[in-house]
Structure 1
């Protein structure tokens, strides 16, 4: 079942230190001034923080799901995905990984240690 923009909002907005803002008709999720996630105005794609060194491999591995951002955004650690191609578990993983790229490591560690979904995946429950 494809992911919706509302599901992304509900998952990302409560992540520690996240601020949500509307910028040029796109919903942006950020830590201070660093954006880690954006939902396009038409709610068909998301952009998310992702290591530059790994993005070509990600896009090549699943080009029907992932694509590079527009040329002016290639200088950033950023990649995009089609919402219709993502499942909820994959979306949560991408959002958490993007969030971890910009939030202080201590904040991420504290959150992940108490996150019930992550704890269940590790078998800690």
Structure 2
């Protein structure tokens, strides 16, 4: 089971990530764009994903870990239960979310720099539809700068 401290440690390990408050809870940003937020319950993380199809795939693959609420209907945003993922998977999920929000040049620099921790490169143990796997940086929805 991961904790809020694990979320903080992994999120802030990503390039140019900063912590701010959103709706009174910790949230993580890259160049002014949020990529993760701890919900009010304190044991659920809100993450953007590449598409509503990716969101549906995550929920179908593991409804114990991933879910949504009516508030997020129509949004490419998924909720993750802290108790259902380990730190490695959390790092992968945060990296994928960071990639969606970070400028293309920052993602490219991240992909070409020697990683201090390969777990932050998006090499997941769980198949996530649309995830760029193996740190290849290829996402059809990613902006380029």
Q: TM-score, normalised by structure 1?
A: 0.83
The separation in 2 between residues aligned to 1:35 and 1:73, in whole angstroms, is: 16
Partner of 2:15: 16
The separation in 2 between residues aligned to 1:9 and 1:109, in whole angstroms, is: 23
The alpha carbon displacement at 1:76 in A equals: 3.1
Partner of 1:55: 55
Task: Check 1:6–1:86 CA distance in 2 against 1; reply closer, same or farther (3 A cut).
Answer: same
Q: Which runs of 4+ in 1 moved over 4 A?
A: 119-122
SS in 2 for 1:15: coil
Structure with the higher helix share, 1 or 2? 1
The separation in 1 between residues aligned to 2:73 and 2:37, in whole angstroms, is: 15
SS in 2 for 1:79: strand
The separation in 1 between residues aligned to 2:75 and 2:15, in whole angstroms, is: 23
Task: Check 1:50–1:112 CA distance in 2 against 1; reply closer, same or farther (3 A cut).
Answer: same
Q: Per-residue displacement from partner, 1:15-74 (whole Å, max 9, x unpaired)? A: 223231112222111234432101123321101111222111110110011001x32333
Gap runs ≥5 in structure 1:
none
Partner of 2:43: 44
The separation in 2 between residues aligned to 1:16 and 1:116, in whole angstroms, is: 12
Q: TM-score, normalised by structure 2?
A: 0.73
SS in 2 for 1:16: coil
Gap runs ≥5 in structure 2:
124-133, 135-145
